[in-house]
Structure 1
């Protein structure tokens, strides 16, 4: 496109205000999905502040991502009853020093932005088991877990098995909460009861775990331990820690050791303003559902935010509302210009594209920032994901359709599927 523009003496600046290919390569991968980044780099940077707990309080609440738990199990050759028994043993071992343990499962909605990511990972490619029974023996556990319906039915089956008297006896004095779809149940030695206060339409376990942390805090628990290695959980917990009256900890694992991060202490060290900006920054610089910028990592973006109070204030507004104001888009556009050239005073993304192209011969399109049209769509997606995270303490947040928020519906073999809406304008002038 650029060569054509030069040969025909077109206005190169005008040409570069459009995307230079079928997709905005600064944001899109060659297969048309979102460009990925190393999410954990943000976590490593944040955790450089001294925050490792020297000891853990007794009588805590332990919150476990249910699907992360079952993904780690080896179910090959075992019956579903065996798997339920082994899973409960794992839960009780994980929560050995806790009086309350919550198992929170994801909910699988096809009309959601998470569904797109799951499909890209191979979800719904597994063989569906129509009815899970205790005596059914699993041949391929990983294949079984590739079906969203299987995972939904497994959560229901685990509740049924754990609710039996012989399983409840194993709880001792512990209280077990477990979710299935939009409901939550409390299991004790005495019986099983539905918990209306924890019914929720939230889809992600990452956010719903914080809803459970809030419930534990309200019901008198002084400390809550989140068991997760996901950067999303770290970011969300830091952003919401000041809304909880309990001490919050995060249990993380590496190949060599287990660490307990004192989230409450870390949040105080980082500062309230930075913590409130993190969900916006994390979604904007790349997560499971939103693209990263090619060649631009999270650590450099974090440093840029920390140096500029205006940027910190702007990212606190990402996700605060479902709609994005022109003022916020202008601020994000300026931030993106700084990401690509920290010494430049250019604040318009199209002008930055032109300046970078002229500054270095042989620049590839993916090395340039996205044009304004594509960046505006990216901002909508980042704002939408940020808004979901920021509403983690609401049981039933009102979440609008992702259509018109950076996604669209396309016809795939007669079935309308959610797809990324990359741009509005044409490929060139």
Structure 2
């Protein structure tokens, strides 16, 4: 029995075997044929990424709204706001920096403002993305109001300990009577870890209060801003100041829970300034898209690539979204990927497989394993020049074919975990599932994707060689057969 080990040129290996044996290509393509799925990973091991903002641009094209003239409340993504300070002169003390931050948000013409920050948990399913962004975890302490902020403020915003120190300092320093004139008649909310504090002026004094209604255990501000919107009682016109496709998707998915509230997502410009702003009326857009499509968006976005998950090589966002938008069958399948989903739900998993195959332009095929074989055959089945065939196989770009079912199954599990988290954004605890049961492994204190269960290739040549008595027909299809399956 001859072992079959992985090599970079796996297709060349298969060809070498095929020169002397008839091999079961269908069985071969049911394996990843790589330690990492080429359609989802670079050779370096990094996940494939796509321009997720392309989805936001596509959705924005369906709505042409302006920011509301008289909003009731602004909810601000705190670290997005801090990044807007990087092009400005940083003051010479942290006390002055905290004053400037308070002044800027109090310049907004609204009585209630929420400044919402991420929490940093470890381990986190975002570990790989933070590693890719070269984020650091270097101890940093603000010892007093006269301490000088670092000159490389932009770089320091990549250090999560620095960011945690700033938020903690704001929560302490804003409880200062000298800031009463800045706060005026407004009410300012600030999140710190799972806590939330409010600051108001009362008889020339600043009062700080813990707001239990806004206590929240979310990791990301992306979901927490929606939680804050859901807790508001009498405010109708709500502006979320942020620039993240994820927040738009989460808002649309939960908009049906925010009854009698109009949610606007705005970005660019300074908070409160009406010029140079992008604005999406999420409430209006949700009515255009319909509830089923809106509730399908979290799973769709996670499946096609977000901060937590890999994208499909060169598939992008717009083409897959167009497939989703025109097919209720696909919308229902993605909507089903929540904490109630189980892999035994074949109707849903079959639809996700069919959607994946459709992204690659293959008609009349519902199996990713079959699609892999068909795309391989399209490239090589009609070649009669053995030398030319050999050269083509050796240089074959396996990124261009979809992952096998073993890989898609794990991707569906990760998608379900993220979609469940986003769909529960209005609750104090949005995470309902276990990462290690939904497509991740925990290695050295860090979550890593489990790309597939089992071996990447058949272990032995005998596993893929077809015995002569078992032969039925050639593995390769004819040109006519191909045309039935492959889109032009």
TM-score with structure 1 length normalisation? 0.92
The match for 1:129 is: 140
Structure 1 residue 316: Cα displacement: 0.9
Which contiguous aligned blocks of 4+ residues in structure 1 show a shift greater than 6 angstroms?
Answer: none
> Alignment length, in residue pairs?
418
The match for 2:356 is: 336
Structure 1 residue 110: Cα displacement: 1.1
Alignment of 1:229-248 (within 5 A): 229-244=243-258, 245-248=260-263
The match for 2:473 is: none
The match for 1:175 is: 187
Which residue of the other structure, out of 209, 218, 221, is the alignment partner of 2:235?
Answer: 221
The separation in 1 between residues aligned to 2:261 and 2:121, in whole angstroms, is 32
Contact 1:20 1:365 in 2 (8 A): no
The separation in 1 between residues aligned to 2:163 and 2:75, in whole angstroms, is 19
Does structure 1 residue 18 correspond to structure 2 residue 34? no
Does structure 1 residue 154 correspond to structure 2 residue 166? yes
Alignment of 1:200-211 (within 5 A): 200-211=216-227
Alignment of 1:34-183 (within 5 A): 34-53=47-66, 56-74=68-86, 76=90, 78-93=92-107, 96-124=108-136, 127-139=138-150, 140-183=152-195
Deviations 1:122-174 (A, max 9, x none): 2225x421344211112322332222222122111111112212223311111
Contact 2:112 2:187 in 1 (8 A): yes
The separation in 2 between residues aligned to 1:358 and 1:128, in whole angstroms, is 55
Which residue of the other structure, out of 196, 207, 215, is the alignment partner of 1:199?
Answer: 215
Instruction: Select between 331-340 and 84-93 the one with higher mean Cα deviation.
Output: 84-93
Contact 1:202 1:208 in 2 (8 A): yes
**Cα 1:380–1:211, aligned 2, differ >3 Å: closer, same or farther?**
same
**Cα 1:6–1:259, aligned 2, differ >3 Å: closer, same or farther?**
closer
SS at match of 1:397: coil
Contact 2:142 2:169 in 1 (8 A): no
Alignment of 1:268-417 (within 5 A): 268-321=287-340, 323-327=342-346, 328-342=348-362, 344-361=363-380, 362=392, 363-411=396-444, 416-417=445-446
Structure 1 residue 35: Cα displacement: 0.9
**Cα 1:307–1:70, aligned 2, differ >3 Å: closer, same or farther?**
same
The match for 1:265 is: 284
Determine which structure has more spread, i.e. the larger CA radius of gyration. 2
Contact 1:112 1:402 in 2 (8 A): no
Structure 1 residue 57: Cα displacement: 4.0
Instruction: Select between 97-106 and 109-118 the one with higher mean Cα deviation.
Output: 109-118
Structure 1 residue 62: Cα displacement: 0.2
Structure 1 residue 345: Cα displacement: 1.0
Contact 2:90 2:97 in 1 (8 A): no
SS at match of 1:34: coil
The separation in 1 between residues aligned to 2:39 and 2:269, in whole angstroms, is 31
**Cα 1:323–1:70, aligned 2, differ >3 Å: closer, same or farther?**
farther
SS at match of 2:437: coil
The separation in 2 between residues aligned to 1:164 and 1:80, in whole angstroms, is 14
TM-score with structure 2 length normalisation? 0.82
Unmatched segments (≥5 aa) in structure 2? 1-9, 381-391, 459-488
Alignment of 1:25-36 (within 5 A): 25-36=38-49
SS at match of 2:436: coil
Contact 1:132 1:154 in 2 (8 A): no
Kindly indicate whether structure 1 or structure 2 has the higher relative contact order, using CA contacts under 8 Å at least 6 residues apart. Answer: 2
Unmatched segments (≥5 aa) in structure 1? none
C-alpha root-mean-square deviation of aligned residues, in Å? Answer: 2.0
SS at match of 1:376: helix
